[in-house]
Structure 1
Amino acid sequence: MNGQKAISVLDSMRLPNGAYTASVSDDYSYVWIRDVVYTVLPFLHTPCERYEQAYHSMFDLFRNYEWKIDIHTKKRPQYLFEFIHSRYSTDLTELHVEWGHAQNDAIGAFLWGVGEGVRHGKKVIRDAKDLQILQKLVHYLECLQYWQTKDNGMWEENMEVHASSVGACVAGLHSVKMLVHVKEDLIHKGEETLRFMLPRESETKETDLALLSLVYPYRIVDRNMALKIVTNVASKLERKNGVIRYENDQYYNEGSEAEWCFGLPWLGLCYRELGKMDMVHEYRLKTKRIVPDNWEVPELYIGGKNTPNKNTPLAWAVALSYLFLEEREQDEIRHEA
């Protein structure tokens, strides 16, 4: 498949400030922190500056709202608008509409991406001010007591303690502990919560597509737990055109749950982490089936229909599909060996 087309599609959602809109659709012409983290993963191993520029734009965003971060490193947010917002307008300013902004996983994802960028030689950190922002975000998670606090989670829905959010924060704190001061106890508390919760996602959800993040890209669970998570998602949530987020999901549900396209390459990427190359091959075929020639991978197929929704292409879906399909030669060499 022509991977250059995928990069062109991602570039169509790239803003002059270096961030990305989630999609070109009217509904998604906003910047989500988490979506940007996933969207720029293909550029982590390339010499271009898209990875750095995306993170610089988010550091600028946090600098703009540093006054807010300062408040909530000492006083826990009580209302959703007090949390660091999860989505912004294309000029990276807050939107004054009600939203499920309590998304601790987005902050964890950002921290993880910064540390990962530094480890790959990316000039993600520009100056002492960026490091100061990073330190304040660590204090923000501590003030929130992320390891036991209900949040809206990856899917921006009901407030409960989500293992995927706690895991993202654990991964993020691990990732930046060489860059700023992170109390070991702050990580241990999150790890203890995960030991108690996993392989469940939350009190109401036995399994959830969001849990795959703990296997890829975060790699914070051991092999046995990773296998449990991946097996649960594949056996209970996988469908023909993608993976449902969780059982009885009502978003774009017209008789059954919506099938999220990025679920198939995401499962493939997890099987690659586990070294299960036979499954990688199987998911490559499944992923190729849902990636169109123009690489405009949809967000999802409407539940009960064989029709994609209007959030097409979804930047995050294009990025995960590209990451999975474009490294096939390396996988095939490994498989033959």
Structure 2
Amino acid sequence: MIRESYKVLDRLRLPHGLYLASTSDHYRYVWLRDSVYMSLPYLDKADGTFEKAFHRILDLLTDYEWKLDLIVGQKPVYEWEYLHARYSSSDVREIHSEPWGHVQHDMIGAILFGIGTGESKGRQVIRSVKDLELVGKLIRYLERIEYWRDPDNGMWEEGRELHSSSIGACVAGLDAVQRLVQVPQRLIDLGREALRTLYPRESESKPADLAQLSLVYPYRLLTGERGEAIVRQVEEQLLRERGVIRYSGDSYYSVLEEEHGRGHDQAFYKGSEAEWTFGLPWLALCWLELGDRNKAMDYVRQTERAMVEPGVLPELFFAGTAEPNPNTPLGWSSAMYILAAEALERAQAGANAGD
């Protein structure tokens, strides 16, 4: 299953090092967040795959350095003015054919987290002084937009709110690059205080959200009882048979949305929300962080049962069914499965060695 999952990532990796989100016609774009998560299985591998992804992200930042400079000088007003989240697959350029929720602070945090974590693991992500300058501009970008109190579109690219998952990604990213460049401590402290204020909610409108798992893994901001409380909250409110719904009332690929179209009140969708497959290995990773290998193993096995063929996970299943949506395979799901399965193997090997 792990080997076949790597083959999925190989098929989605583009020559420049970033990833298609899926082979689906709807998802034949490069999302920076997806590329960060899809690169994580290569973090401990010295084959250059991890570095290549981040080198292309840094080259992208060079291409749009003028935009970084504008934002550092003045906070954006319109969504398109922010650093974009989605790009064309071939030349990695902004797409202006349709409006998009580009205010995604967690994407910036994820990039910084990947750069800093990669360097700490011996990956040569930073190639030059210029790369370090770009990291510094991302830090000033987060400072200028006041990420700790600037509503963003969040991980799901929807309505603008203060999202704990976005604030947490920025905190973790800023912390990760402290060993590379100077980061004002107040920027991290302001984010941590905002997280404490929101806890245990994701946002004003969402008491529980799948995106909150990122605060436990990979960002490790919530540990012990606080981390376990978030994981159990997701399990109790959002876990389903073949995946995890993103939040209560989610209309994306809702059964009712398919039948009646968009535009209904969110309460209309409760019980019909789509089940996202990467929620299962994400829960496994969180339980490994919290020290429960048995729960992690259960979720890894549940992920394998959700595969439509070895290594292939769809983005989601329609509520209560075995019918996947067209975005199959979803690279992010395959990456999370690899991370969970390999981490579980290491944990079991360590436990056996200690016996």
TM-score (norm 1): 0.97
Q: Is the 8 A contact 2:169 2:215 kept in 1?
A: yes
How far did residue 67 of structure 1 move?
Answer: 0.2
For residues 304 and 57 of structure 1, the distance between their equivalents in structure 2, rounded to whole angstroms, comes to 39
Aligned to 1:219: 220
Aligned to 2:49: 50
For residues 67 and 303 of structure 2, the distance between their equivalents in structure 1, rounded to whole angstroms, comes to 41
How far did residue 334 of structure 1 move?
Answer: 4.5
- TM alignment of 1:22-41, pairs within 5 A: 22-41=21-40
Percent identical across equivalent pairs? Answer: 48
Q: Deviations over 1:54-110 (max 9, x none)?
A: 000000111000000000012111101000000100111000021000000000000
For residues 300 and 187 of structure 2, the distance between their equivalents in structure 1, rounded to whole angstroms, comes to 38
Q: Deviations over 1:215-274 (max 9, x none)?
A: 000101231210111000011100001000000000000140000000000000000001
Q: Could you say if the C-alpha distance between residues 318 and 70 of structure 1 is closer, same or farther in structure 2, counting changes exceeding 3 Å? A: same
Residue 27 of structure 2 is aligned to residue 11 of structure 1? no
Aligned to 2:239: 238
SS in 1 for 2:186: helix
Q: Could you say if the C-alpha distance between residues 107 and 300 of structure 1 is closer, same or farther in structure 2, counting changes exceeding 3 Å? A: same
SS in 2 for 1:155: coil
Q: Deviations over 1:119-145 (max 9, x none)?
A: 010010010111000000000000000
For residues 265 and 184 of structure 1, the distance between their equivalents in structure 2, rounded to whole angstroms, comes to 33
SS in 2 for 1:40: helix
Aligned to 1:165: 166
For residues 319 and 26 of structure 2, the distance between their equivalents in structure 1, rounded to whole angstroms, comes to 19
Aligned to 2:303: 287
For residues 203 and 65 of structure 1, the distance between their equivalents in structure 2, rounded to whole angstroms, comes to 33
- TM alignment of 1:169-248, pairs within 5 A: 169-248=170-249
Q: Is the 8 A contact 1:265 1:287 kept in 2?
A: yes
Q: Is the 8 A contact 1:277 1:335 kept in 2?
A: no
For residues 247 and 317 of structure 2, the distance between their equivalents in structure 1, rounded to whole angstroms, comes to 15
Q: How many correspondences in the alignment?
A: 336
Counterpart of 1:324 (choices 307, 315, 340) is 340
For residues 199 and 161 of structure 1, the distance between their equivalents in structure 2, rounded to whole angstroms, comes to 13
SS in 2 for 1:47: coil
Give the letter aligned to residue 182 of structure 2: H
For residues 185 and 201 of structure 1, the distance between their equivalents in structure 2, rounded to whole angstroms, comes to 22
Greater than 6 Å deviation, 4+ residue runs? none
Give the letter aligned to residue 17 of structure 1: H
Aligned to 2:318: 302
Aligned to 2:264: none
Residue 148 of structure 2 is aligned to residue 147 of structure 1? yes
Q: Which runs of 5+ in 1 are unaligned?
A: none
How far did residue 325 of structure 1 move?
Answer: 1.7
SS in 2 for 1:72: helix
For residues 253 and 304 of structure 1, the distance between their equivalents in structure 2, rounded to whole angstroms, comes to 11
Q: Deviations over 1:179-234 (max 9, x none)?
A: 11210001000000001111100000001000000100010123121011100001
For residues 293 and 95 of structure 1, the distance between their equivalents in structure 2, rounded to whole angstroms, comes to 33
How far did residue 40 of structure 1 move?
Answer: 0.7
Aligned to 1:268: 284
CA RMSD of aligned residues (A): 1.2
TM-score (norm 2): 0.92
Q: Could you say if the C-alpha distance between residues 328 and 184 of structure 1 is closer, same or farther in structure 2, counting changes exceeding 3 Å? A: closer
